[in-house]
Amino acid sequence: MIAGIDHFVLTVRSVEASCAFYQRVLGLQRLDEPNRPTALLFGSQKINLHEVGRTFEPKAKEPTAGAGDFCLVAASPLAEICASLAASNVAIEVGPVERTGAQGPMKSVYFRDPDGNLVEVSEYLT
């Protein structure tokens, strides 16, 4: 019944800081539209950003900055992601480590965004 994920929402302290981080570190593209949340585009998905105190309806029951924990699939080799993290002074907390994703074995690195959300970036091994 479900084919995939279109978008998810992150509640952040600062839309500007979050956009700058994800653009610089992961190459996501910012999208601003009138009366819509700022979004970060990648592949055929997006992350909508809701700033604390300036959320859009409907929203999570208790939107909280830093409560996110999600995995993104890399479009480039994980070594390039690690190099981008290092160049941006973003510490890798765990990895590279082997994990199992929705489509099979993968290698992942974990790090935190400016709000403390846990971001996992992975590449499939098959």
Catalytic residues, which ones?
Answer: 120
Which parts of 20-103 are beta strand (E)? 29-31, 38-42, 45-51, 69-73, 94-101
Environment class of 2 (CB within 10 Å of its CB; exposed 0-12, middle 13-18, buried 19+) = exposed
